[in-house]
Amino acid sequence: MTDSLSVRDNRTNAEYELPISDGTIRAVDLLRITADDEPLVSYDPGFVNTAACRSAITYIDGDAGILEYRGYPIEQLAEHSTHLETAYLLLNGQLPTAEELADWEHLVNTHRLLPDNVKTLIHGFRYDAHPMAMMMSAVASFHTFYRDSRNITDPEARELNIVRLIGKMPTLAAFAYRHSVGRPYVYPDDSLGYCENFLAMLFQGAEPKYEADPRLVRALEVLFILHADHEQNCSTNAVRAVASAGNDPYTSCGAGIGALFGPLHGGANEAVLRMLREIKTVDRVPEFIAGVKDGKGRLMGFGHRVYKNYDPRAKIIKHATEQVFEAVGVDNPLLKIAIELEKIALQDDYFVKRRLYPNVDFYSGLIYEALTFPPEMFTVLFAVPRTVGWLSQWQEGVTDPEAKISRPKQIYTGIRTRDYAHLGER
């Protein structure tokens, strides 16, 4: 077997041999194929079949429903690991020893405070500002406080600013939340772990010490592990594209937050909750499904560019949802609607034929609601753990000798050269 692709261009009858490596052809090899002096270009809106980088971080087999971080199956990490341990794994490629983990947790915890001016920045937003907008601006502003972050070729500066951002994301998210509900900010508590401290900064009231239900702390750890990375998704691609221009992690991750905000990406969990509320009762599910099939809207939380099988994260989240509901003791009617939607959609020809299954966002919104978060916070709760993935991918991108500034081509469909017409002549 020869690792190459034989191509015959029927416009010119010319034949070409394109090498295949790693199951891909190089798009630049298409430049050799020309007709009328115009080189052949591949057209791929949305990068449906284009690999933009090499990566050793996350492996997905969408047909088989497999997700692995650095080779470890997501199911095992969700069962045994913590978010910070998984963060170490994603960034460094190996699970830490006990000593390395203790040092890492300590290091991240020492970087949880925000620069004081960031509080002023958050304070400047209207009470009803979307917290994702606050997060985006605040993260982008971090580089003004940490100018060494621009030294992206210096490994020590890279490491320090990665740790800073992982440490600060929960504090920022909690401050944005408390600003929107008009409550005073709660500062990080050194005696608490990453997720426990996050819950305290979010929900502490007048009590001197907030004590989170350990079942909720574990549920948050699991949610954070599941959301930590997902290879070249829309927001990670945004981070890598911005980083490819030589940008620091804060500027790059600010772009990632912007991409994640979209309802087709991280904003889907918020959209799922709104959809469930709109459906209102279980008996209206068939009517809603019929509307989706008629093109009146999408079944939010269903479908995925990569998974053409059950999203492995959705399975774990469904289980976590039941545990959280047990811990908080609520009987949420929206869960019943979600289960009915899933049941019908999984049997319906429209969804089966298109291989549409529940994705990570289908159940996560229900957990966040059970934890009393308003829907605007849902995507923020995605952004906090995904920062770890963005930073791992940022680091890999800026140290990749093959990386180039992101600059796709276009097919120009506009008018060509014409003369400017003065106002009175149009």
Nearer to ligand ACO, 175 or 363 (CB): 363
The residue among 228, 258, 264 whose CA lies nearest residue 242 is 258
Active site residue 400: no
Count CB neighbours of 121 within 10 A. 15
Task: Determine the Cα–Cα distance for residues 391 and 399; give it in Å rounded to an integer.
Answer: 12
Burial 29-57 (b: 16+ CB within 10 A, else e): bbeebeeeeeebeeeeeeeeeeeebebeb
Active site residue 304: yes
Give the C-alpha distances (Å, rounded to integers) separating 73 from 321, 386, 392: 20, 17, 18
Active site residue 265: yes
The interface region with ligand ACO, picked from 30-38, 169-177, 274-282, 302-310 by CB under 6 A, is 302-310
Of these residues, 83, 179, 304, 311, which one is catalytic?
Answer: 304
| Whether 56 contacts 65, CB under 8 Å | no
Q: For residue 248, give the DSSP letter.
A: -
Nearer to ligand ACO, 248 or 369 (CB): 369
Out of 303, 312, 365, 385, name the contact with ligand ACO by CB under 6 A.
Answer: 303
Nearer to ligand ACO, 300 or 316 (CB): 300
Residue 300 lies near ligand ACO (rule: CB under 6 A):
yes
Nearer to ligand ACO, 170 or 385 (CB): 385
Answer positive or negative: Cα dihedral of 84, 89, 92, 97. Answer: positive
CB of 63 to ligand ACO, least distance (A): 14
Of these residues, 29, 265, 319, 348, which one is catalytic?
Answer: 265
Out of 104, 194, 250, 302, name the contact with ligand ACO by CB under 6 A.
Answer: 302
Place of tokens 């401290």: 197
**At 36, is the secondary structure helix, strand, or coil?**
coil
Of these residues, 229, 248, 311, 361, which one is catalytic?
Answer: 361
Binding mask 341-380 for ligand ACO (x = CB under 6 A): -------------x-x--xxx-------------------
The DSSP secondary structure of 228-242, one letter per residue, reads: S--SS-HHHHHHHHH
Out of 150, 215, 298, 308, name the contact with ligand ACO by CB under 6 A.
Answer: 298
CB of 350 to ligand ACO, least distance (A): 7
Q: For residue 302, give the DSSP letter.
A: B
**What is the footprint of ligand ACO within residues 253-292 (CB under 6 A)?**
264-266, 268, 292
Q: Beta partners for 73? A: 68
CB of 420 to ligand ACO, least distance (A): 40
Task: Determine the Cα–Cα distance for residues 72 and 84; give it in Å rounded to an integer.
Answer: 15
Binding site for ligand ACO (CB under 6 A): 264-266, 268, 292, 298-305, 354, 356, 359-361
Which residues have a catalytic role annotated? 265, 304, 361
